[in-house]
Amino acid sequence: MSALIARAMKEPLGIVFREPVDPVALNIPTYFEVYVSSSPLLSLQSLMNRIPEEDARDLSLIKSNFDKARYTTYKQVDDDFALMLENARVFNGEGEITDTANKFGRWWDAQRKKME
């Protein structure tokens, strides 16, 4: 699994996932925020499109957690990888980042199948 994480860090599809999201540098100040709106629908949409800070994932965190033996199963690594990609999809909606997340997910799945 360590070798797969290292390959993921070098994989071109993973470039946007290598380090934690920096909302200031990327000019996305709402990344960790929830907006309260007078419209229940808008409030629900805001809740659905936020990324709770405690759920933020990136490849460097996954590697660190693996290196520090914070995962007890490979499934936990897979779950964090999936959460990282889902966060990208939820926050960004349809578009280039979501397309990249989908491709990176397929890449990961193919690599994992080779390990079985």
Place of tokens 């659905």: 48
Q: Mean per-residue pLDDT for 71-84?
A: 93
User: For position 51, what pLDDT does the model report?
Assistant: 52
For 49, half-sphere exposure in the C-beta direction (CA atoms, 13 angstrom radius) is 15
Q: With a cut of 90, say whether residue 108 has pLDDT above it.
A: yes
- CATH architecture of residue range(s) 2-20+54-115: Up-down Bundle (1.20)
More confident residue, 8 or 115: 8
Q: What is the pLDDT of residues 20-54, one digit of tens each?
A: 988 889 888 877 763 333 334 434 444 455 555 66
Q: What is the pLDDT of residues 81-100, one digit of tens each?
A: 998 998 888 888 899 999 99
Q: Domain residues of the chain, as ranges?
A: 2-20+54-115
- 41: which 2 tokens? 């629908």
CA atoms within 13 A on the CB side of 28: 13
Dist CA 13 CA 11 (whole Å): 5
Quote the DSSP letter at residue 16: G
Longest distance between any two alpha carbons in the chain, whole Å: 51
Q: In the structure encoding, which two tokens stand for residue 100, read together?
A: 């990249």
Q: What distances in angstroms separate CA 29 from CA 34, 39, 58, one per listed residue? A: 11, 21, 18
pLDDT at site 42: 39
Considering only 9-13, 57-61, 86-90, which range has the smallest mean pLDDT? 86-90
CA distance linking residue 97 with residue 84, whole number of Å: 12
